[in-house]
Structure 1
């Protein structure tokens, strides 16, 4: 914690249980005279405290603080600096971040500088949760077998992370098999109010964070301000760089009423996602308030906060109130900490009670909780909500769109079986993901549906791959206590692991006979999962339609075996007497669910988190080695020294001349499209590389697990099996055409040919470019392919920031101009000039398009280097190069003194 200039004289003392805490009072000192302070949104108050505490006259100036204090929940072009208290990582995004830090240490050694100059200055927790894959399912041994496979596959990655834990200060690793990072954060890591000793005094301040996963926002449900950033931005925060941002709009969402009987938090969040996506909250803060919060348990709030990336907001924040305090107590937090949270939040105007002042928001929306109905979302986007009553029609429409209308009722026999499959069948039913497995009400509801279904003689259909992957061991504890794990097991929802599985694409293989039937007949089949992401090609390569649903609905669709069903009217099957069984016959009441939720105790949390950093015998047996630098080896297929700090990637050329398009893409291109996380396709450039290294196909693992190896990842960039490059409209997948060629090539192969000829390239796309996960490799891979600029109609927040962080120029078409209005085909080349002049944030950039017909058209583009700090990062070749330059400059200065 740095010394603050404290020019507003806000440093005060709060006494809790006779213990003094120093704190920067948001409404104290000179700020007490600001009439707008009391009505500021809570998220802005938290940022304001952050700036008061970090005021230094440089990155955080008095004028910045005054601008934020006067913002009133409305956006401005004022740049502010945010210093999060900590950084949260998961292993898919954490491994490449630690690789980058190790590479920076390597770069320092080459300059004769102490490698330990690179060390986390901000607390970092990395939770290994993304590497468990569902290879085994529906058996008592599934968990043990999957963990054994995970440890064997990922031994090298885990060895590297253990090295990082010993080499870097302020860096902790939660071992595999513990839980999902967001649930571990919610149940254990988060404090709501952080404390730190300095100069003999104890300071209290809000617990804030950024995370290398989009769904870091889940912690907003606990009243902790945090959001997802790319790994690159997180690394900058780890190294002491502030998060540079513009003052955001804050949209208020008033919740009224109470959820009706049979309605789940999942139904609610899917409605919120649909509503806020339609309104438009990309890049904005969202705060929830209103009388509806009185009836909304903290777990439900966390579910809504979790899916902020799906509705596009930077965060979806809930105030601290009695529900928060009850949850802190339930989850086993220390009583003194709980008392500090309440006292501090009341002192700072961050507490919600009957006297709560509704803040001034840039806009206000309202949602009556009594209007929520049972819902799913899909088949390709989380904002496309479909009521349960409309799913049958929606699926028929999806099948018709795929050109399969005539085969709608055709039967496709499963080899060696008496049953047949159809279009629209459910082949994956997964209770998975941080979004819902952190919520006891929906997990217990799933167990009760399973118990009631068994009592009626129902079973899941044989072609359904079922799984249960909770976000923490506490879930297993309360399911077993409620005697609900056994009925889940009997339906095939056995524990398969603690981690992010199906939702991230670690769904594992389908049974061979099912895969063969799908492939042979080009079946349009579905997954139903209790996750937050259902983008194309993400869940499983053979599953085209993916539906998000609550855990109890996941169980119901496993019983039905198809999505071509209206569960409000159609039966799930017949009971032992041949009578039809409907969903209403097995759906539990709210009272039943509440009784079992109330039986959950703090003892369960204390038991499961007492040794959270220890790991099992297999983890403890891993030899991490030691040393200040990591010993990179050429033969590793998991961990390679990245080239980002080589001179060719440092600093920007003055202009981009005659650059062809590497790809021309449409709307809503996700980071999954740009850099897939799931299975590595057999005939891809990445698989060719792995085979050349002697890796068998069964050991390919996933793109996500190999993010520490740039040689795999660059080959996978723009390699999603469902991506559609408009330059090769006849093909699906990562293909393009080079200038002057007719024959299509892999995008990777074309990029390497262009680079061998010293030809820069650009990517052109439509609206909402880079939606989805905070995937730094979507930017890193773009850079390594030789792409100098990405020109689109609009960006999603995190990916734009990641491009800047890697030194790739994000540009936006002017309003009304698109690739279509400009009649682009992919055969054009671009000049982008003026980059050698002093760059200003958001300035207009001149570009010239050269058409194959000989036409030359100048256009203006909007630079999306949004802040002065981002301009500096871009000119340095990215944020990490900027940090290295600062270290080099200091070392040079020290050598002359």
Structure 2
């Protein structure tokens, strides 16, 4: 390695010597202190990884001269210290690695070169579903069903655990990946042992195959979500190429007022930043308000960086970081190392210190934050709680198209019978109330507040409404421990919030079925019903296919809406129920004061609780331990409806083929703004009459055993058929429909999107997608790119792309093209019935001409931006994708295949 700035040095902590790359070694040349905290971490990364090829002296110089006022133009290579995966994205990642081992063998190379070069942790957290709820047996029943459904996937992961080095699996039933990362896996600074030398200390950094990897930013750890294919490349030793970002500073002042929670704060921050526009940028929080912000609140804010559009939302290391490390059971030695290293490198925050230079600065007085919800379809659409009923009525009017929503509420409805009693289900009734998701279950304050609301409600004789499906799915076993110690687990259970599992559940779409009479009433009456959940995502079709209005809220508000049973409820005016004497009870009667919550936290949470719960984190429950542990460095691919050998590397040669122009392409899908990766590749339930459902039944899988799209990501046949299969997708090529429909041209026949794609493939017709702004918003879902490519789509032309999805498209050989400013499919008069010819890519152009041929033979042309943003991305695209590039590089044994 190179050390152009003579930065490698030693320092001592508690009598032990360590090595580090000193940032102050550059102070005589540059003003390092002016750099934001996150940029200092990137600078250390470059200093430590300088090799003269991937990282050059010029790259370090460019970062030190970073200008916050200019758009990014400088590319750097970031080498994360580790990678984290969750099982929905982790299973296909391991499938890809297994297939790469086979392909490596076919290319004449050593299969064991396909092996993680950096530590990788996979946490199984996305597979548990809420099949059972509202009983003490719910956890055991859901766990049993989870293992029955997913045995094939879990056996495969057990093989990967043994076959790959540097690869650990956290078994099911432990918690959610981001909360486990926050509470246990993250070290804040890493000390790497080297034989014969003092340990090398550097910042703990990571990438993860889940967009909410950013939660760890609350601990001062730089990391963000990437697609599975990018993560696989990082696992194989490839740096993450990126443009030096703009960094938006977010100053926090004051403290939260009585009644406001961390959830309300993050919904406010999300709305502010999404309005400001931070896509592709770093956000860094600073200001004296951090003195009043517990680390759990910081993690809640950092968690939702994807919702406000940023690459990350990072907080610095300070005394609160050390307090949290102590609370969560990290050793005294580790805490001392964190503090000493952070202070030594200028990464330690002190009140009143010099403010870094930022590309822009936003400010928020925490005292102005008010209780809020967000919805009904996007997390950035914050609604003050005082306006929640009015907001719901507006959403209902929009769903109904016209009419007086309030009148509909009073006159409409559908009768149903449940457990021998008659009920009426109406528009706006809450049918799902879920305390779920790492965003909030990692935060003891809001979890204990939910328990206190439940305790007060039970004491007054209140009950949740019978049509509400209630669930409690914490992000770690520690949550259950402190709820139990505080005496709040029982009142939550008394209201139906029994423990259902440790995992994402409702937030990822694993809400499970509604009881049959309720589902039948919704469909029979075409009712517009709602959900309230303490998650971070509420996109269309994500939570449950029968639920159209979905609101994000704090855990105590989830309990409140379960009691009210309807969105047509003004929490400041309307009673939430009646007590045993028939007297009205209001939300203010149930809401705990901050002092109550803080006292409970002090009494019921300690470090031993964390140490004991994580003592055997990799052991797992008996179901896991009883699974067979297959041998072999390559996988034998047994017959399975979950795990299949993917076709990505079939016929692959040692050198890439020349780029071919996309000619006479047809439009498969034409959509508007804010199309999410849930629209493109849903994670939730599989309908029996969908192409994926039909395929599974042909394979002998009964509908009751379909599981979810997310769990089937190891089977490309299911995922191809599930691409663009969201039940709420509105494809403008099939007007008047919702779901996976399109029109085949020139025949004019209406088909499922999958069937149309297969017909185009047989006709040897390439495909394009036309889209609006923010295409690919949401989860870092690489199958949204994989499925797009496997359907035969060669290019997506959109007004703008979300960061991760654009990268994923390039990483799987799909060309992302962007309309020029002010232009769109609508302004250019594109109906989607045309054919499209794209210009040559031989010279890696910044722009491209697209020639359009209308059905009557008339031709027009327009120009688009080519959104392949870096030279390395061009390498990936020319090779057909990042995995193909890495595979050829490893097989050739050279620094770059085509140099």
TM-score tier after normalising by the smaller chain length? over 0.9
Whether 1:218 aligns to 2:209 is no
CA distance in 1, matches of 2:409, 2:573: 20
2:732 is aligned to 726
**Deviation for aligned residue 1:198:** 2.5
2:116 is aligned to 120
1:714 is aligned to 720
> What is the TM-score of this pair, normalised by structure 2?
0.97
Preserved CA contact (<8 Å) 1:40 1:72: no
Question: Alignment partner for residue 343 of structure 1, among 340, 344, 354?
Answer: 340
**Deviation for aligned residue 1:231:** 0.3
Unaligned runs of 5+ in 1: none
Whether 1:822 aligns to 2:828 is yes
Higher deviation after alignment, 732-741 or 764-773? 732-741
Q: Deviations over 1:571-602 (max 9, x none)?
A: 00111111100000011110000001112100
**Deviation for aligned residue 1:264:** 0.4
1:69 is aligned to 64
> What is the TM-score of this pair, normalised by structure 1?
0.97
1:673 is aligned to 679
Preserved CA contact (<8 Å) 2:188 2:220: yes
**Deviation for aligned residue 1:215:** 0.3
Whether 1:644 aligns to 2:673 is no
Preserved CA contact (<8 Å) 1:44 1:73: no
2:33 is aligned to 38
2:351 is aligned to 354
CA distance in 2, matches of 1:341, 1:503: 33
CA distance in 1, matches of 2:352, 2:277: 30
1:391 is aligned to 388
1:241-280 counterparts in 2 under 5 A? 241-280=238-277
2:283 is aligned to 286
CA distance in 2, matches of 1:114, 1:271: 52
**Deviation for aligned residue 1:849:** 1.1
CA distance in 2, matches of 1:887, 1:269: 43
**Deviation for aligned residue 1:624:** 2.4
1:53 is aligned to 48
CA distance in 1, matches of 2:888, 2:606: 52
Preserved CA contact (<8 Å) 2:214 2:304: yes
Alpha carbons of 1:651 and 1:439: their partners in 2 closer, same or farther (altered >3 Å)? farther
2:399 is aligned to 402
The number of residues matched between the two structures is 885
Question: Alignment partner for residue 786 of structure 1, among 792, 798, 811?
Answer: 792
**Deviation for aligned residue 1:891:** 8.5
CA distance in 1, matches of 2:657, 2:292: 54
CA distance in 2, matches of 1:763, 1:728: 14
Matched residue SS, 1:767: coil
Q: Deviations over 1:131-174 (max 9, x none)?
A: 00000000000000000000000000000000000000000000
Unaligned runs of 5+ in 2: none
CA distance in 1, matches of 2:67, 2:7: 20
1:800-819 counterparts in 2 under 5 A? 800-819=806-825
CA distance in 1, matches of 2:111, 2:274: 45
Question: Alignment partner for residue 864 of structure 1, among 863, 867, 874?
Answer: 867
1:611 is aligned to 616
Whether 1:549 aligns to 2:544 is no
Matched residue SS, 2:126: coil
1:488-499 counterparts in 2 under 5 A? 488-499=492-503
Preserved CA contact (<8 Å) 2:22 2:345: yes
Alpha carbons of 1:437 and 1:691: their partners in 2 closer, same or farther (altered >3 Å)? same
Matched residue SS, 2:421: coil
Question: Alignment partner for residue 168 of structure 1, among 164, 171, 178?
Answer: 164
**Deviation for aligned residue 1:859:** 1.6
1:412 is aligned to 414
Whether 1:209 aligns to 2:206 is yes
1:529 is aligned to 533
Matched residue SS, 1:647: coil
Q: Deviations over 1:503-527 (max 9, x none)?
A: 0000000111111111110110000
Q: Deviations over 1:455-500 (max 9, x none)?
A: 1110000000000000000000000000000000100000000011
Higher deviation after alignment, 701-710 or 635-644? 635-644
Q: Deviations over 1:255-310 (max 9, x none)?
A: 00100011100000000000000000001000000011111000000000000000
1:472 is aligned to 476
Q: Deviations over 1:26-77 (max 9, x none)?
A: 121xx11234310100000000000000001111111111001110445430
Matched residue SS, 1:656: coil
Alpha carbons of 1:704 and 1:652: their partners in 2 closer, same or farther (altered >3 Å)? farther
Matched residue SS, 1:227: strand
Matched residue SS, 1:845: strand
Matched residue SS, 2:338: helix
2:510 is aligned to 506
CA distance in 2, matches of 1:853, 1:287: 53
1:852 is aligned to 855
Whether 1:621 aligns to 2:626 is yes
CA distance in 2, matches of 1:892, 1:469: 47
RMSD between superposed Cα atoms in Å: 1.4
1:688-767 counterparts in 2 under 5 A? 688-767=694-773
CA distance in 2, matches of 1:280, 1:768: 11
**Deviation for aligned residue 1:18:** 1.3
**Deviation for aligned residue 1:863:** 0.6
**Deviation for aligned residue 1:84:** 0.2
